[in-house]
Amino acid sequence: MRVAVLQFSPTLGVVAPNLARILSAIDDAARAQADLLVAPEMSLTGWTLADSAQRAALVASVHTAALPALRRAAVSRQMGVLVGGPGHSGDVTDNASASSAANSVFALSADGSLAVYRKIHLFEDERAWWVPGDAALVADLGGVRVGVTICYDAEFPEVPRVTRLAGAEMLVVPTTNMTPYERDQDVVFATRAIENEIPVVVANRVGTENGWNYFGRSVVMDRSGRVVAQAGSEEELLIADIDLSAAGDPGLSYLSRRRPQIYSRLLSTIESDRRSRSLAQDHRSRGV
C-alpha cells in the first residue's frame, strides 16, 4: 500500500482553510498514486478548543461541510482518507452539542462509506472538552484492514493490541505530539509496531498553538519498527510504500505465542489490586 501522510499546521477554530489544505493534499496524493491519505489529529479545526459554543459549531461544520467534501474527494480519487476533527460522540445524525462531541478520526473509503473512531484516552485539558470513545476501529480501506487510533491512545498498549486482534493489517495514528515528547514518539510507536507485528503510520502536525509547539516528524514504520520514511519539522506530504506481505521475525512471533488465559489481571484496576494486596498482607500479618 502506498500511503501519503499530510504534515501541516492547522488554523485554529475554523474548518474551511484546513479542509482546503486537506483536499489539495488528496489531489497531490492521487498524483503520487497513493492508496491512502492520512492527516493529523484534529487537523480540520486545531486541537485547543476550550470554548463549548465553538466546539458545538465546529462539530456542525465538520458534519455538514467537511465530511461531504471529503467523501466526494475519496470517491473521485478512489482513495482512502483518514482525517482528524471534532465529531458527534454517537451516531453522525445526532444533533451537535458541546456535551456530545468527541475527538474523532473519520475514515472514508473509495466507495464513499464512512467509519468513525473516537479517542478513548483523553489528554490533559481535552478531558473537559470531549466525551471519550469506547471502541476500537478497523476500517476496510482499499481492501486493507486499517486499524485507527489517536495519539495518546496508542501510548496505552491495550488499544493497539485490541485493534490488532480485531484484524488490523496496519495501524494508523493521527497525532498532535508536542515538545517535549519527541523521544516518546520515537520509542512508543516503534514499540507498537514490534509488539503487534504490524506496520505503523504516524501523522503528526507542526506549528504552534496556544503555547504548544508541535514537532512533526511524521513517520511510517514497518512491522519490525524500522523507519520506512520520516518527515522533518516543516509542512510536507510524506509518501511511503508499505509492504503488507512482509513476514515478521519468526523468532519473536509475539501474537502466536500469547497466553491470554493468564492475563486476567489486565482487567483489574490499580485500586482493586491495591486493596487485594492490602488484604493479603493483613491476612499474613494475622497468620491467616
Active site residues: 41, 119, 151
Q: Are 243 and 234 in contact (CB under 8 A)?
A: no
DSSP letter, residue 265? G
Pairing of strands 80-88, 101-108: antiparallel
The secondary structure of residue 38, as a DSSP letter, is E
CA-to-CA separations, 69 to 30, 32, 215, 217, 265, in angstroms, rounded: 16, 21, 29, 28, 45
| Cis peptide bond upstream of 199, omega within 30 | no
Asked if 79 and 71 count as a contact pair (C-beta separation under 8 A), the reply is no
Decide if 163 contacts 138 (C-beta within 8 A): yes
144 bridge partner residues: 141
